Amino acid sequence: MLGLGFWIERFTATGVTLQGLIREAYEVEDNQISGAPAWLDSERYDIEAKADKSVADELQKLSFDQRLVEYRRMLQALLGDRFQLTLHRETKELPVYALVIAKKGPKLQETHPGDNDPTGMTFGWGLLKGEGVPIALLVRHLSQQRLGRPVLDKSGLTGKYDFTLQWTPEENRAPMFKGTRDGGQGPDSPPDSSGPSIFTAIQEQLGLRLESQKGPVEVLVIDHVERPSEN
């Protein structure tokens, strides 16, 4: 089975390409990786790394979102160490999805100041649930759903909102990260094959839509990379 796995004390990768690892480490799409040799997306690797106990103990104290940030930093360091990867960032005009308001208007429930409702995001396989969160956080999570291009916020919505978004993920677009999430639906729960696509769900459930446009996108330009030596 192909994929990545992050747990508190270890990281595993099975049959993944270096391009796939870079996508996950830097939260980018394929068209945001430039200057890559052909083997970057053809040769596959199995990787297993284990964290020191002191590091694992510190990770245990973090929320899942906080751990995910640390995992990505650790993966970036691993790529630099094992593949001698160095890169720099540029901004280019590329195809994007703009999150805009649908014709019938938004269906989000605004959270008003003084409300005692909890705040944060719950997410799983085909599920995003927000409580008192800004649209920017929704856009961030949509950009992590392997839609083929980044998502930009052009909704004009400035408040904080409650919402639930449920859809059937496409297998080839599902996030590669696996591991234990803090509550909510598990990442390996099978999707309901009769459910809507994420594009349909956003329009029907949130009153928003993803519109194809071009916009400024950060691109990773690879300066140097090497095949790893066997270990």
Who's near 76: CB < 8 A, 6+ residues apart? Answer: 25, 26
Q: How much helix, strand and coil, in percent to the nearest 5, is found in the chain?
A: 30, 35, 40
pLDDT band at 210 (very low <50, low <70, confident <90, very high): very high
Kindly state the tokens that stand for 91: 């901004």
Query: Torsions phi, psi of 23, nearest 5?
Result: -55, -45
Residues 14, 82, single domain; the answer is yes
- Supply the pLDDT for residue 226: 95
Beta bridge partners of 94: 215
> Is 34 among the domain residues?
yes
Instruction: Name the token pair of 229.
Output: 């030596």
148 and 64, same structural domain? no
- The structure tokens listed for 90 are 């540029």
Q: Note whether 8 and 29 are within 8 A (CB).
A: no
Domains: count for the chain:
2
Within a domain: residue 54?
A: yes
Highest averaged pLDDT of the listed ranges 65-79, 160-174, 189-203: 65-79
| Tens of pLDDT, residues 102-134 | 999 999 998 876 655 556 777 777 899 988 889
Average of per-residue pLDDT across 69-96 = 92
What kind and span of H or E run contains 92? strand 86-101
Instruction: Please work out, in degrees rounded to the nearest 5, the angle formed at the alpha carbon of residue 22 by the alpha carbons of 18 and 26.
Output: 175
- Domain range spanning residue 38? 3-91+217-224
> Do 82 and 99 fall into the same domain?
no
pLDDT for 181 = 41
pLDDT tier at 11 (50, 70, 90 boundaries)?
Answer: confident
pLDDT category of residue 7 using cuts at 50, 70 and 90 = low
200 and 98 inside one domain? yes
> Is the same domain home to 86 and 101?
no
Q: What are φ and ψ of residue 72, in 5° steps?
A: -65, -40
Give the number of other Cβ atoms within 10 Å of residue 114's Cβ: 5
Integer angstrom CA distances of residue 106 from 58, 101, 103, 112, 168 = 40, 6, 9, 16, 21
| Kind and range of the H or E run holding 20 | helix 18-26
145-149 mean pLDDT: 83
User: Which tens digits make up the pLDDT trace of 36-50?
Assistant: 999 999 999 988 887
pLDDT band at 199 (very low <50, low <70, confident <90, very high): very high
Q: How far is Cα 163 from Cα 165, in angstroms, rounded to an integer?
A: 7
Q: Is 200 domain-assigned? A: yes
- Answer positive or negative: Cα dihedral of 84, 34, 210, 153: positive
Regarding whether 122 and 80 lie in a shared domain, the answer is no
Closest among 38, 5, 1 to 18, alpha carbons compared: 38
Query: Is residue 2's pLDDT more than 50?
Result: no
User: Within a domain: residue 15?
Assistant: yes
Pairing of strands 10-17, 44-50: antiparallel
**Which residue's structure tokens are 């979102």?**
65
